[in-house]
Chain A
Amino acid sequence: MKKQGFMTTGEIAMLVGVVIALAVWLLFPRGTGSRVIVTRSGEEAGRYDLETPAQMTVLGANDFSLTLVIEDGQAHVEDSTCPDLICQHHAPISHDGEAIICLPGQVVISVEGGRRHGADAVSG
C-alpha cells in the first residue's frame, strides 16, 4: 500500500499562496494606497493618490475656491477665498479618516486608506 505523502502538490501550492499573501499583507507599507477624496456639497468631485504630488484648484459652493496641495504623503489647503480660512489654517492630513472641511465652500477633503487613528470618530 502506497504511503500517503505529508501534502499533495495542490496543497503545497495553496499553502505557498497563503504564505505569500500573508507576507504581502504584513510587510507592504500601510501608507501605500491612501487616497485623497474631495467632495463638494456632499458629491464626490475628485479622488487622488496621496503619494503622487499634485496641486489643484477646487471650486466650492457660493463661488468660493481653494487650492489643494498634495505633497510628501500629506494633503493641505494652500489658500482659500472663503472668509474664515479655517481650511487654510488646518494642519496637513495623512491618516485614514482625517478631513479638512471648508464650510462656506461646502468642500470636504478627506483621506481614505492607510494608517488610521484608533477611534471611530472625533468630537470637537
Chain B
Amino acid sequence: MKRLGCLALCLLLLTGCAGGDPGQTVQIFAMDTLMELTAYGSQAQDALDVAVAEVNGLDTLLSAQREDSEITAVNRRGADGAAAQVSEETGELLTRTLELCADTEGALDITIHPAMQAWGFYSGEYRIPEREELSRLQKQVDYALVSVEGTTVSTQGQTIDLGAVGKGYAADRIVAIWREMGVTSGLLYLGGNIHCLGAKPDGSDWAVSIRDPNESNGILATVTGRDMAVVTSGGYQRYFEENGIRYHHILDPETCVPANNGAVSVTVIGSSGFTCDALSTALFVMGLDGAAAYWRGHRDEFDMVYYTEDGILWYTSGLQDRLELRRGLEGRALT
C-alpha cells in the first residue's frame, strides 16, 4: 500500500509540474496600442480590474489624440498663447519628461507633435513635408519653450505629445499599484514595451526576447531578470515607403525628418518603465556613439542593446551575464 502511495505521489508531482499558477490575463486597446496585462496570485482579477481603470484614466489625461485629454487642452491653450491648468499628476509627469529632454540635449523632445502630424504618423495619411515646411517645423519644435510650474503649463505655441513616455509611465503606475496590493508577480505587454513585476510565479527569472526586425517571428537576443522594464524603439515599428525609400516614425527633433544614425532598433533595460521608454527613443536618435556616451554617464540607471544597420548587436556591460544572443549574430560589448 505504501508503494501505491509513492506511485500516486509521483503522479501528483507530475501533474503539479505541468500546472502552476497560470495567472489571469486581460487584453485592452488603449494609448493607441494593444496591451496585455497578466497578474498572478490570489488577487489577480482585482489587480487587472484596477490596472485597466488606471490605464484608461491615464489615456484620458495624456493622449494628444483625444479631444478630452489634458494634453490636448494644453495644446489648444498654447496655440492661443495662454497657459493651461492640469492635474498634479500630469504636471509632475511633464516636469520629469522635460528634465529628460534636457538631459538628452533634445534627442527626446515632447514638442515633436507638429512634425509627427505633418508626416501623417497620427492619421495614417502619410506624406513627405516640403523643405520650407520642415524649416518652419524645426523652429516650432523646442521643448525648452515649454514651462511647467506646479499645475500650470505654458508654451509659446508648441504642441506636446507624451507618446514617447506614456506607456512606460503607465507600466510604472500599474507596477506600483500592484505592489501596494501585494501582487508579487506580473507581466505587462504595453504595445511592445515589456515590464516584469518581481520574478515568475515559480521564483525563476523572466526571459524577455528582443524582436528581430528583419524576420517577422525572429529574435535578436533574450535578456533575463526580474523587476525590469524592457523597451524597444525601432524604425520598423511604424513607417511608410515612397519611391522605394522608407520613412519611419522616429523623427530627429533637430531636423524633423526620420532619424538616420545607423540604428535599426534600440532596447533599453532598467527598473523604470518611464526612463526606458523615453531613452529608447532618445538613444535611437543619438546614434550608437552618442548613445554609448550617454550610457557611460548613466550606467547605474539602465542597460541597452543597440542593433545597428551593419548587423552588429552592441550591448552594455551590465548585461554580460544575462543576455543570450541568437546563434550566429555578432555581438560586441560596450564598456
Contact = CB atoms under 8 A, between A and B. Distances in A.
A7 B28 CA distance: 56
B115 interface: no
B3 interface: yes
A119 B217 contact: no
Given A90-B216, A103-B32, A120 B11 contact: no
> Could you say which of B10, B34, B211 has the most chain A C-beta atoms within 10 Å of its C-beta?
B34
B208 A119 contact: yes
A41 B32 CA distance: 12
A100 to B, nearest CB: 9
B29 A41 contact: yes
Majority SS at the chain A contact face: loop
A124 B34 contact: no
B263 interface: no
A10 B26 CA distance: 45
Interface string A82-120: 011000001101010010010110101000000001111
B7 interface: yes
Interface of A: 7-8, 10-11, 14-15, 18, 39, 41-42, 61, 83-84, 90-91, 93, 95, 98, 101, 103-104, 106, 108, 117-124
Interface of B: 3-4, 7-8, 10-11, 26-29, 32-34, 124, 187, 189, 192-194, 196, 200, 206-211, 213, 215-217, 219, 222, 230-232, 234, 237-238, 265, 267
Question: Which 6 residue pairs across A and B have the least CB separation, nearest first?
Answer: A124-B211, A91-B216, A119-B209, A124-B232, A83-B124, A123-B230
